[in-house]
Structures are given as structure tokens and as C-alpha cells.
């Protein structure tokens, strides 16, 4: 495991953007874009992270202490918002469907 001075967390580039954190900046990744390092850099820039908090290697991203935890918190918050919105839309659909059914029975 390689280390950069002062950077304790590392992840492989493709795991970083495609699997977990692209949800934080979905518009930063153009359609059909496959270069892992460039996509990772675009996502990190779109998140407005301080460039002193991370370094891009050839195959990995190195983060300072606490930055990866902050990204996880941001991701969890974004997923919570998406799921809540989805649940609200489903509840609204079901309520409207039941209301329409009650109106037809009258």
C-alpha cells in the first residue's frame, strides 16, 4: 500500500467515482466518459473540495484525515434525500389513487 505524506486514506480511482461518490455530482460526469482519473478529478472539483485535502495518484486517490468520512456523510445525506423524495412521491400516488377510487364509488 503506497502512501503520500500526510494522506492516510486511499481508494482506487474507479471505486471512488463510479461506485460511491458520483451521486454527489451527477452532472460532472459526461455521458460515455470512461477515463477514471479525469472523472474522479471532475467529481472532486464539482464538490468544491480544497485541493490540499486530496491528491490524485496514477491509480488511487489519497485523502487527508477526515475527508473520506466527510464524503461518506455527504453521500449518506444525498441518498436520504433521494429516498425520502421517492417515498413521498409513492405515498402521493397511492393516496391519489385511493381518493380517485373513493370518488368513483360515490
- Ordered structural domains, the chain, with CATH: 9-105 (1.20.5.4820)
* In contact, 59 and 12? CB cutoff 8 Å: yes
pLDDT digit string (tens) for 31-86? 776 677 888 888 888 888 888 888 888 878 888 888 888 888 999 999 999 999 99
State how far the alpha carbon of 75 is from the alpha carbons of 1, 80, 95, 97, in Å: 26, 9, 30, 33
Cα separation, 86 vs 43, whole angstroms = 24
Higher pLDDT, 34 or 93: 93
State how far the alpha carbon of 106 is from the alpha carbons of 45, 59, 96, 103, in Å: 57, 66, 16, 5
* In contact, 39 and 33? CB cutoff 8 Å: yes
Please say if the pLDDT value at position 2 is more than 90: no
pLDDT at 43: 84
Task: Lowest mean pLDDT of 7-11, 54-58, 69-73, 95-99, name the range.
Answer: 7-11
Is this model's pTM higher than 0.75 or not? no
Q: What integer is the mean pLDDT of 80-101?
A: 97
Amino acid at each position: 500500500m503506497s502512501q503520500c505524506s500526510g494522506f492516510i486514506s486511499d481508494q482506487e480511482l474507479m471505486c471512488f467515482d463510479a461506485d460511491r461518490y458520483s451521486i454527489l455530482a451527477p452532472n460532472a460526469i459526461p455521458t460515455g466518459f470512461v477515463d477514471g482519473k479525469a472523472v474522479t478529478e471532475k467529481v472532486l472539483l464539482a464538490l468544491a473540495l480544497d485541493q490540499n485535502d486530496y491528491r490524485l495518484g496514477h491509480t488511487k486517490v489519497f485523502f487527508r484525515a477526515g475527508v473520506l468520512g466527510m464524503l461518506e456523510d455527504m453521500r449518506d445525506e444525498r441518498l436520504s434525500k433521494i429516498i425520502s423524495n421517492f417515498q413521498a412521491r409513492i405515498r402521493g400516488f397511492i393516496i391519489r389513487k385511493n381518493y380517485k377510487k373513493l370518488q368513483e364509488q360515490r
